[in-house]
């Protein structure tokens, strides 16, 4: 009995274990096919393309539950209204409620783009557009095109394109446009059902959502000429292949011959084209014109910092109040000025020790700023600067040897690694302004017959950053060098000396480099040719300027992938200049050579760059996706 019971128990245990294993199988559940069908419109109240509309709302019904994805960004009503229409979700239908009065005898379009998706898988309905008219007829003209960023030459997503029947330049600053559209991910836009008229066309980055252009603050693009809508009849011929096969036979001397005859039908289709739909709008940031003081600070005891809104001649002058300067220092000479190239950042190094030791300083700063009329006026401002020495960190009780103050050295940053390029200088930067007398103690030594031997070099002072110097030398290939500054060799204007600096390095071999030779052709303006790397974040490595056609050489380049772009320098000032809408000034054109240049060591690559051609730059994000797909395909194989 016990044996029978035990055998039965074991049998049941095995069955239970098998069931548990089956339930715990780590495979994916076998469900149905993934839903890829987008929602379908089954009813519109009133129907799209209705006329004599007098209502306050529109309902659009679908065959399933839907969601609204980024509806506030994607939904566009054209013509626009001061109080925007409200789009609400009601399960299987979407309601659009108008919160402002509709214009009489006007055709409106409600463009949802791809904002309507199904509730489960997020399948988009597609680019859905609803049209109605408050009058007896529908307008039928349309315009379209593309918006690209002039600097990157890439499509602009979500730009607001505005069309004005009032063609005055200033209307974009004060009035709502006659019609609006938004660009998709390819930068394409299309506005339909508009009146047959002449339009001024422009695009802005409408971050405020009010359809108004703010000069120098809003990204903008415009078409130089006015655009007239057009329509013209066109004909397309389609070939329809039959579903059945016809066999023809004929008698010959050799007997019967048979031939299969396919009798295609050619169908003519007549319709009307509207446009133009190939408009091109280059978008850009206007030059900022509002000049004002952004920030003032005292981050170091010996230094006062001023930051302005834009690079400009701000005419900054600072006078200390309530302090007595040393006899040898006067109000016109109490600081050393250090500035950025455009004077938007200015640092004043205080020379008088009696002054910088004061924790609280008061100064009168006079500088230019833009007033409410857009003019630059001189402003005098009283500014207080505070500095407090940082307290010593709390910790264990100080030992006797800790009471001896540590020697504080002036810091030196040397821009040199273990290897140096043959065409590069070495940068030396001090943390404080220095007394230049000590610069004679900088040594450069070259390895000659296994002995470090002092050699001549040139020391160049940076014209703006007064604490920066460049060690210039015609380097020998594959040679060992040493940069040496003995301790106490250089001292700052505040009496701090340097600690010993030793930098050993070796120069590269000639064979480590390659050259890229660019043949510039069909240039009608001076050309700024830039060699760069990177996709979204472009890093310009070198640039050369050429006045016309010719050969440009980028030398001493390491192995790698490089790209080239050209700035068509219309005014010949050696830099890229942006545009201005109110001045009808387009930005200077930039052309990107689409081909990547893969350079190997000790090789030259020659490349033609024709300035008369139109080049299309590949979107870096799409390029990366394509490369990822290729890698996955190789892995799958």
* % residues pLDDT > 70 (the chain): 85
Does residue 190 surpass a pLDDT of 50? yes
| Residue count of the chain | 637
What is the rounded distance in angstroms from the CA atom of residue 307 to the CA atom of residue 295? 5
Q: What is the pLDDT of residue 322?
A: 84
Q: What is the pLDDT of residue 254?
A: 64
CATH assignment, 293-386: 2.60.40
Q: What is the pLDDT of residue 19?
A: 46
What is the rounded distance in angstroms from the CA atom of residue 479 to the CA atom of residue 473? 13
Does residue 255 surpass a pLDDT of 70? no
Average pLDDT of the residues of the chain: 88
Confidence of residue 58 (pLDDT cuts 50, 70, 90): very high
What pTM was computed for the model? 0.81
Q: What is the pLDDT of residue 70?
A: 92
What is the rounded distance in angstroms from the CA atom of residue 296 to the CA atom of residue 320? 15
Helix (H) or strand (E) segment spanning residue 271: strand 265-275
Which residue's entry shows tokens 């005419």?
315
Does residue 9 surpass a pLDDT of 90? no
Confidence of residue 197 (pLDDT cuts 50, 70, 90): very high
Cite the beta strand spans of 400-510 per DSSP E.
412-415, 419-420, 426-430, 442-448, 451-454, 458-461, 468-472, 480-485, 501-507
Does residue 437 surpass a pLDDT of 90? yes
Q: What is the pLDDT of residues 336-353, one digit of tens each?
A: 999 999 999 999 999 988
Distances (CA, A) of 635 to 624, 626, 627: 17, 14, 12
Which of 576, 533, 529 shows the shortest CA–CA distance to 552? 529
Of 44-58, 157-171, 251-265, 323-337, which gets the smallest average pLDDT?
251-265
Of 1-5, 222-226, 515-519, which gets the smallest average pLDDT?
1-5
Confidence of residue 407 (pLDDT cuts 50, 70, 90): confident
Confidence of residue 51 (pLDDT cuts 50, 70, 90): very high
What's 150's DSSP letter? T
Domain 412-508 has CATH 2.60.40.3710: yes
Q: Domain ranges for the chain, please list them.
A: 41-133, 293-386, 412-508, 512-626
Rounded to 5°, angle at Cα 554 from 550 and 557: 160
Number of C-beta neighbours around residue 351 at 10 A? 19
Confidence of residue 250 (pLDDT cuts 50, 70, 90): low
Q: What is the pLDDT of residue 270?
A: 83
What is the rounded distance in angstroms from the CA atom of residue 503 to the CA atom of residue 418? 8
The residues facing 608 across adjacent strands are 519
Task: Answer whether 41-133 and 512-626 agree in fold.
Answer: yes
Q: What is the pLDDT of residue 635?
A: 41
Q: What is the pLDDT of residue 264?
A: 67
Domain 512-626 has CATH 2.60.40.10: yes
The residues facing 338 across adjacent strands are 347
| Cα-based torsion angle of the residue sequence 223, 537, 523, 575 in order, rounded to the nearest 10 degrees | 80
Helix (H) or strand (E) segment spanning residue 19: helix 2-23
Which of 487, 484, 477, 486 shows the shortest CA–CA distance to 504? 484
Q: Would you state the CATH architecture of domain 41-133?
A: Sandwich (2.60)
What is the rounded distance in angstroms from the CA atom of residue 430 to the CA atom of residue 469? 9
Query: Rounded to an integer, what is the distance from CA 433 to the centroid of its chain?
Result: 36
Which of 152, 140, 226, 230 shows the shortest CA–CA distance to 187? 152
Does residue 624 surpass a pLDDT of 60? no
């Amino acid at each position: 009995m016990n044996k029978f019971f035990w055998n039965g128990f074991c049998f049941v245990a095995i069955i239970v274990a098998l069931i548990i294993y089956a339930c715990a199988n780590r495979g994916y559940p076998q469900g149905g096919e993934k839903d890829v069908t987008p929602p379908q419109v089954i009813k519109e109240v009133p129907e799209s393309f209705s006329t004599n509309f007098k209502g306050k709302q529109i309902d659009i019904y679908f065959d399933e539950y839907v969601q609204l994805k980024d509806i506030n960004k994607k939904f566009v009503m054209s013509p626009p209204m001061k109080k925007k229409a409200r789009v609400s979700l009601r399960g299987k239908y979407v309601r659009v409620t108008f919160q402002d009065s509709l214009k009489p005898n006007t055709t409106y379009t409600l463009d949802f783009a791809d904002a309507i998706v199904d509730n489960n898988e997020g399948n988009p309905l597609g680019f859905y557009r609803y049209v109605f008219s408050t009058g007896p007829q529908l307008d039928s003209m349309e315009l379209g095109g593309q918006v690209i960023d002039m600097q990157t030459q890439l499509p602009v997503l979500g730009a607001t394109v505005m069309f004005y029947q009032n063609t005055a330049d200033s209307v974009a600053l004060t009035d709502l446009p006659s019609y609006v559209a938004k660009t998709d991910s390819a930068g394409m836009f299309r506005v339909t059902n508009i009146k047959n008229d002449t339009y001024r066309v422009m695009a802005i980055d409408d971050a405020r959502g009010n359809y108004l252009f703010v000069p120098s603050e809003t990204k903008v693009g415009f078409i130089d000429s006015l655009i007239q809508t057009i329509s013209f009849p066109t004909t397309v011929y389609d070939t329809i292949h039959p579903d059945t096969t016809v066999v023809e036979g004929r008698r010959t001397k050799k007997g019967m011959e048979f031939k299969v005859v396919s009798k295609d039908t050619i169908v003519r289709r007549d319709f009307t084209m509207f446009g133009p739909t190939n408009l091109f709008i280059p978008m850009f940031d206007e030059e900022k014109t509002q000049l004002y003081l952004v920030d003032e600070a005292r981050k170091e005891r010996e230094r006062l910092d001023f930051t302005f809104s834009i690079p400009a001649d701000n005419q900054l002058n600072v006078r200390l109040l309530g302090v007595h300067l040393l006899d040898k220092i006067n109000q016109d000479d109490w600081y050393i000025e250090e500035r950025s190239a455009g004077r938007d950042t200015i640092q004043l190094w205080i020379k008088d020790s009696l002054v910088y030791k004061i924790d609280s300083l008061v100064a009168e700063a006079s500088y230019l700023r833009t007033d409410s009329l857009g003019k630059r006026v001189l402003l005098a401002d009283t500014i207080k600067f505070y500095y407090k020495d940082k307290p010593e960190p709390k910790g264990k009780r100080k030992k006797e040897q800790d009471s001896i103050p540590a020697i504080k050295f002036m810091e030196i940053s040397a821009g040199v690694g273990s290897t140096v390029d043959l065409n590069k200088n070495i940068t030396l930067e001090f943390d404080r302004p220095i007394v230049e007398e000590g610069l004679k103690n900088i040594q450069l030594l070259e390895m000659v017959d296994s002995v470090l031997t002092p050699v001549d070099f040139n020391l160049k002072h940076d014209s703006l950053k007064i604490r920066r110097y460049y060690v210039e030398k015609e380097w020998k290939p594959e040679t060992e060098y040493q940069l040496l500054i003995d301790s106490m060799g250089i001292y700052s204007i505040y009496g701090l000396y340097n600690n010993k600096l030793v930098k050993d390095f070796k120069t590269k071999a000639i064979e480590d480099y390659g050259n890229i030779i660019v043949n510039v052709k069909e240039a009608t303006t001076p050309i700024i040719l830039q060699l760069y790397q990177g996709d979204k974040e472009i890093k310009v490595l070198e640039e050369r300027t050429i006045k016309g056609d010719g050969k440009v050489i980028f030398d001493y380049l390491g192995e790698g992938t490089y790209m080239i772009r050209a700035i068509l320098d219309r005014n010949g000032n050696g830099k890229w200049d942006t545009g201005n809408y109110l001045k009808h000034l387009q930005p200077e054109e930039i052309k990107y050579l689409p081909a990547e240049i893969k350079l190997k060591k000790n090789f030259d690559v020659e490349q033609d760059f024709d300035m008369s051609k139109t080049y299309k730059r590949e979107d870096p994000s799409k390029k990366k996706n394509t490369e990822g797909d290729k890698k996955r395909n190789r892995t799958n194989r």
